[in-house]
Structure 1
Amino acid sequence: MELLIWIIVFSLVGGLLSVVVASSFLLLPEKHRTLAVPHLVSFAIGAMLGASFLGLIPHAIEHEYAIDAHAIGLTLLLGLLSFFALEKMVLWRHCHTHHGHEHIPELDRPDHHGGHHHNHKHKSAGPLILIGDTIHNFVDGILITAAFLTDVHLGVVTALAIAAHEIPQELGDFVILLHSGFSRKKALYYNILSSLGTLAGALIGYFALSGMQHFLPYVLLVAASSFIYVAVADLIPGLHEKVKPIESLQQISLIALGVVFIYIAHSTLH
């Protein structure tokens, strides 16, 4: 029961808390939000890579039902290729890339499907974003549970990495909802509902995976491949748009800070 409480609390951290923090950024002037998002993305990259290489993959290797080295490599490879294929198959991604609409620099960043957010006046954009995020959050919940079932400390680190990634993404989603005709109150309400998908995924994952411990190393590796893919394929390319030495130094520093944050969190908890 204690483990279930940990899972519930940190699935809310990974989902609900990130929505609340992202919504607070809407109170800032647009100029400040535009400056903040790239920094948040850089930190999220470091946190996700740190969680993958310092937490998820080592725990998958050390698990009591550990799989051999070739299976580990194959699972990571198939995970990366699967996420690439999923990007190609997600139809609502095309709703984000229509041409001929007003461009908003703040939204010109990779989304978690690999596309780019652009402003458009289609009323369907808001609901489609919410559907995609709910599914994404549901999967995050399962990954958080898998990490907690392996090790409580790993679960905490995984939830923190997910929260770090979700904050800039949720901020972008808020702006899309507002430009799709949602009021601030309505956008917050529906984003909170969507974030509860993390809790639903965590609870379903708990009851589904508790009796299937031998599958946990594979789930951890899929989680790692998910983090690696999002960081390397979706987020890092956007950073290359800024090439000034000071901007590059800021990016590298914040990525390193994200890695150090995960390292300290993991080491402290142990």
Structure 2
Amino acid sequence: MFDSIIKFFEEIDPVVGALLATTFTWLVTAAGASVVFLFKEMKRAALDGMLGFTGGVMVAASFWSLLSPAIAMSDGEGFAKVAPSAIGFGLGALFLFGLDKVMPHLHINFKPNESEGVPTKLNRTLLLTLAITLHNIPEGLAVGVLFGGVAAGIPEASIAGAVILAIGIGIQNFPEGIAVSMPLRRHGLSRKKSFFYGQLSAIVEPIAGVVGALAVTFFTPILPYALSFAAGAMIFVVVEEVIPETQQDRYTDIATLGFMGGFIVMMVLDVALG
């Protein structure tokens, strides 16, 4: 089945492939958010474990799918070879740092008075949704950049690698969708509204995916920088947002185990299938 999926993506335009792959990750988020129609509440331990799993997948993907290929495709030796990845990684982190300071948002397990970004009168629901949207921007960008590398004919960028990354991000988007919709339901929103805002948080992924693919297609030399940029953005999200969200209660061990599980799943996918 995996071979059939790869063959399908090899036969279509890589930019279209980026759109389809990131649409898939968006739909998986929606599938996770739809769990709110089955349950009104979910134990905090389960939510923290899911968030930990999400962080583990993102960290593993940052290295195996993004940083490692970026270093491999860079010319030169020593510092010259790693410089594009180091620069891109730093810029990606600074990009998310800037968004974090500007975009108003509220982390899932934080109190209303702990919202971040510019002061706003937006309600709690929108602030929670915007927080998860921050998670999803680098995820869509990462998938798109890999597809853009394929379009540019870079040997180190493969359809298989891009599809594996999309599958890994899709897997972690399912619990992420649950982790958004369930708290919204618990705070009094209807099931329909909880689902709507839960899936809405990932709609940015197809947009970021297409932007990333087009950018690399037109400016091929930026590929190692772009891959590392996406990695830096994802690591920033994990350290600044995902991990702190799992440390607000007594289930830190469960969140840590979830993180380890997510890392293992993404590593195995990338190495075994890539």
Q: Which interval holds the TM-score relative to the shorter structure?
A: 0.7 to 0.9
TM-score, normalised to structure 2, is 0.72
Q: Which residue of 1 aligns with 2:152?
A: none
Alpha-carbon distance in structure 2 between the residues aligned to 1:203 and 1:232? 26
1:109: Cα distance to partner? Answer: 5.1
- 1-structure distance, mates of 2:199, 2:247: 32
1:73 aligns with 2:56: no
Q: Tell me if 1:22 matches 2:26.
A: no
Give the Cα separation in 2 of the matches to 1:82 and 1:130. Answer: 19
Aligned with 1:220 (options 227, 231, 234)? 227
Contact 2:138 2:230 in 1 (8 A): no
| SS of aligned partner of 1:108 | coil
The corresponding residue for 1:49 is 59
Identity rate of aligned residues, in percent? 22
Partner amino acid for 2:191?
R
Q: CA deviation at 1:10?
A: 2.0
State the Cα deviation string for residues 118-139 of structure 1 (Å, max 9, x = none). Answer: xxxx774444555666676455
Q: Secondary structure at the match of 2:203?
A: helix
Aligned residue in 2 for 1:188: 195
1:195 counterpart SS class: coil
| Deviation at residue 151 of structure 1 after TM alignment | 2.4
Task: Give the TM-score, by structure 1 length.
Answer: 0.73
- Structure 2 partner of 1:102: none
In the TM superposition, residue 49 of structure 1 has moved relative to its aligned partner by 0.9
Deviation at 1:140, TM superposition (A): 3.7
Alignment match, 2:3: none
The change in CA–CA distance for 1:115 and 1:170 in structure 2 (over 3 A counts) is farther
Match of 1:155 in 2: 162
Q: What are the superposed Cα offsets for residues 200-250 of structure 1, whole Å, 9 maximum, x if unpaired?
A: 333344344322221121111111111111112222234445568xx52x4
- Structure 1 residues 37 and 195: CA distance shift in structure 2, 3 A: same
Residue by residue over 1:49-94, the C-alpha shift from the partner in whole angstroms, topping out at 9 and shown as x without a partner, is: 111122210111122678732332233233324423432232x23x
Asked if structure 1 preserves the Cα contact closer than 8 Å seen for 2:57 and 2:262, the reply is yes
Following superposition, the deviation at residue 178 of structure 1 comes to: 4.7
User: Match for 1:13 among 11, 24, 41?
Assistant: 24
Deviation of residue 7 (structure 1)? 2.3
Residue identity opposite 1:19 in structure 2: A
Query: Matched residue pairs, number?
Result: 246
- Contact 2:168–2:269 at 8 Å: present in 1 too? no
Aligned to 1:210: 217
- Structure 1: runs of 5 or more not aligned: 98-106, 117-121
Cα distance change on mapping 1:169 and 1:115 into 2, 3 Å: farther
What is the alpha-carbon distance in structure 2 between the residues aligned to residue 207 and residue 190 of structure 1? 28
> What one-letter code is carried by the residue in structure 1 that aligns with 2:262?
G
Matches within 5 A, 1:89-238: 89-90=102-103, 92-93=104-105, 96=106, 107-108=108-109, 115=115, 124-127=123-126, 137=136, 140-149=139-148, 150-175=157-182, 178=185, 182-189=189-196, 191-192=198-199, 195-238=202-245
Shift of 1:18: 1.2
* Residue identity opposite 2:207 in structure 1: A
Moved more, 11-20 or 122-131: 122-131
1:260 equivalent in structure 2? 264
RMSD: 3.5
Q: 2:96 is matched with which residue?
A: 83
Deviation of 1:48 (Å) = 0.9
Give the match's secondary structure for 2:202: helix
Q: Which runs of 5+ in 2 are unaligned?
A: 1-11, 149-156
- Give per-residue Cα distances to partners, 1:2-59, cap 9 Å, x unaligned: 53454233212321211221321552352x3423111111111211111112221011
Q: Is the 8 A contact 1:44 1:161 kept in 2?
A: no
Change (3 A) 1:254 1:62: same
